[in-house]
Amino acid sequence: MKKILLTLSMAAMCATTVSAQRANEKTKNDCPRFYLGVSTGLENPSGLLGVNVELPFDAVSIGSGVGLSSWGAKAYLEGRYYLNPCNRGLAFGLGASHSTGLSDFVLKGAETNIGKQDITMDLNPVTNVYFSTYYYFNLGKSGRNRFHLQGGYSARLTEDIYTMKSAFYFNANGERAMKMLAPGGLILALGFSFGL
């Protein structure tokens, strides 16, 4: 009787192990091979409204995107590391973004050396590096689509963020305001992506 129980126990353990391995293989094989999405937010790597693509490789992925920002067009390239399978749950990203800037930008009522004036300037191209933490949620019955929240920090690499075309120059408050408006700083964003 002991031999029969031992044999049945061993068979059950083997069946459970094989079943778990097949479930893991199935989950890995069912994961999307490509993501296409949209995102928005404060200092979002692809701008105020951007289109994103992501190519996953197990626990890591490469992502890129383009969009529109308050500093012209914006693009980014990023690597991400996921803690959970199928590119879900908590992830960490490191990347670089580039804003193209704007020519002949008019800032109305800017604080200058002679009071409030309308100023014409060029917003110069700006490059940033950033670190982000993401959290991805499943959306839909198939589990292939995702919603994400993003938080992080973007550091500006560019020193000269604008070129004045007017005869005026900013006072200390105006200068501070321009540095706050330029790309860089706290990242708070959200997005949605379709798994293909």
Q: What is the pLDDT of residues 117-176, one digit of tens each?
A: 889 999 999 999 999 999 999 988 888 999 999 999 999 999 999 999 988 888 888 888
Q: What is the pLDDT of residues 41-66, one digit of tens each?
A: 999 999 999 999 999 998 999 999 99
More confident residue, 20 or 86: 86
Q: List residues bridging with 123 in a β-sheet.
A: 102, 162
Helical (H) or strand (E) element with 65:
strand 60-69
Quick check: 21 pLDDT over 80? no
12 contacts: CB under 8 Å, gap ≥ 6:
none
Backbone torsions φ then ψ of 8, nearest 5 degrees: -65, -40
Among 20, 184, 31, CA closest to 97: 184
- Res 19: pLDDT: 40
Q: List residues bridging with 48 in a β-sheet.
A: none
pTM: 0.80
Euclidean distance between the first and the last CA atom of the chain, given in angstroms as a whole number: 53
Percentage of the chain beyond pLDDT 70 is 85
Quick check: 7 pLDDT over 60? no
Quick check: 3 pLDDT over 80? no
Quick check: 24 pLDDT over 50? no
